[in-house]
Structure 1
Amino acid sequence: MFELFMDSLPAFIEGMKITLIITVSSLFLATGIGLVLGLINIGNNKILRLIAKVYIDIVRGTPLIVQAFFLYFGMTGYLGFHMTAEVAGTIVISINAGAYMAEIFRGGIQAIDKGQMEAARSLGLSSTQAMLKVVLPQAFRHMIPAILNQFIISLKDTSILTVIGVSELTQSGQIIISSTYRSFEVWTMVGILYFVLIYILSTIFRQIEARLNND
């Protein structure tokens, strides 16, 4: 098994690299989507709130694999353009995670006492300045565990992207199995590598959370 692991290591490393690139890129995009939608959800514009609600309900109400097929095969074929599987995978994970991040931001912002906004406004800050400088920094501390959880979910969700041909960690395992026929050993190694990735990222996030809580 050790010899198999060493022979397969280059393919595993390449798969892990693609997995991390898609996950990290998606998290940044999803954070932007979630922040915008979260602010819309606590705003007063009913039309924008309806649009945000429809988006969140559709994304959360359909499987990720269907969303991947819809974007990569459905939309590209219907609109007549091409994108790589990696780009499509990043967009799908971003759109999917963005809907959940929106609820994280909404809940985090609403958890902050309204008096914080009122106090900031009384000091002469605009609503935008008060939100960016007073409310969001406090809300972010409460959101870190939920953001970490979503990050881990998104990392594991990248395994679904193998259905559209993304050469991430899971597909690397499938390719190795097709040439070695050693499913048990290969899937064991893939599971261990996912665990190691998630454990390292969880440790980093916990250190960030501890540092922020100590400030």
Structure 2
Amino acid sequence: MNLDFSSVLPSFPFILKGVGVTLQIAFFAGLLGFVFGIILSLFKISKIKLLNGIADFYTSIFRGTPLVLQLMIIYFGSPQLIGYQIEPYTAAIISFALNSTAYISEIIRGGILAVDKGQSEAAMALGVPYSPMMINIVLPQALKNILPSLMNEFITLTKESAIVTTIGVMDVMRRAYQVGSDTFRFIEPLLLAGIIYYVLVMFLTLIGKAVERRLRKGD
């Protein structure tokens, strides 16, 4: 193997600057996906068939097509669809948020269904309206149970964010590729990018495990 990191190591700080972009995309996409995921999960458990159909259709679309395709449609298709070119960074957050909504809604739906039905029945018997019951009783318990799964979704978002390099977002992958183009050595900067992603994922995994242990102690 002909590996020589001496020519690319000076560019390591340049590649490392992409971590902020990677985490920003994952954070904002995860936050929006969480908010919309709650709404979509309530659609899925609703007794109104129209809302069930909308939620199921949405989930099937975003779970049934590649994320990179959704990203490219939103970015490259925006001038044709809305007459305005969306910025790469914005397009990345929108596409990841829409995709994450589908997966997070399933996680939240499972968490809601796992809550003892006796509590919601008791709340209804006491005359508690549906919305306050969901907000104050059911959702807090559901979220406590699914927090580790939500953390795993955030870790997945962090890794999958690497595909934003296809639309020119200056994340870790894009910067590594640029260093490769400048030095005519691609393996070394890509390996450095892999190490950065690995460290990020391991760090987030440790946080997830710490959260899970804390939740277990609270039970």
Please classify the TM superposition score into its range, dividing by the shorter chain length.
Answer: over 0.9
Task: Please tell me the root mean square deviation across aligned C-alpha atoms, in Å.
Answer: 1.6
The answer on whether the counterparts of 1:141 and 1:213 sit within 8 Å (CA) in structure 2 is: no
Q: Say whether 1:156 aligns with 2:159.
A: yes
Which residue in the other structure is 1:136 paired with? Answer: 139
Which residue in the other structure is 1:88 paired with? Answer: 91
Give the TM-score taking structure 1 as reference length: 0.93
Describe the shift of the 1:161–1:200 C-alpha distance in structure 2 as closer, same or farther (beyond 3 A). same
State how 1:17-56 maps to structure 2 within 5 Å: 17-56=20-59
The 2-side partners of 1:4 and 1:122 are apart by 71
1:101-128: per-residue Cα shift (whole Å, max 9, x none)?
0100111110111111112333443222
Q: Which runs of 5+ in 1 are unaligned?
A: none
The 2-side partners of 1:184 and 1:38 are apart by 43
Describe the shift of the 1:136–1:189 C-alpha distance in structure 2 as closer, same or farther (beyond 3 A). same
Q: Say whether 1:70 aligns with 2:97.
A: no
AA of the residue aligned to 1:65: V
Which residue in the other structure is 2:122 paired with? Answer: 119
Q: How many residues end up aligned between the 2 structures?
A: 215
The answer on whether the counterparts of 2:25 and 2:93 sit within 8 Å (CA) in structure 1 is: yes
Q: Say whether 1:211 aligns with 2:218.
A: no
AA of the residue aligned to 2:103: Y
Identity of aligned residues (%): 37
Which residue in the other structure is 2:61 paired with? Answer: 58
In the TM superposition, what is the alpha-carbon distance from 1:141 to its structure 2 partner? 2.4
AA of the residue aligned to 2:168: G
- What is the DSSP-based 3-state SS (H/G/I as helix, E as strand, rest coil) of the residue aligned with 1:176? helix
- What is the DSSP-based 3-state SS (H/G/I as helix, E as strand, rest coil) of the residue aligned with 1:167? coil
In the TM superposition, what is the alpha-carbon distance from 1:30 to its structure 2 partner? 0.3
In the TM superposition, what is the alpha-carbon distance from 1:45 to its structure 2 partner? 1.4
Q: Which runs of 5+ in 2 are unaligned?
A: none
1:60-82: per-residue Cα shift (whole Å, max 9, x none)?
11111111111111133332112
The 1-side partners of 2:192 and 2:180 are apart by 12
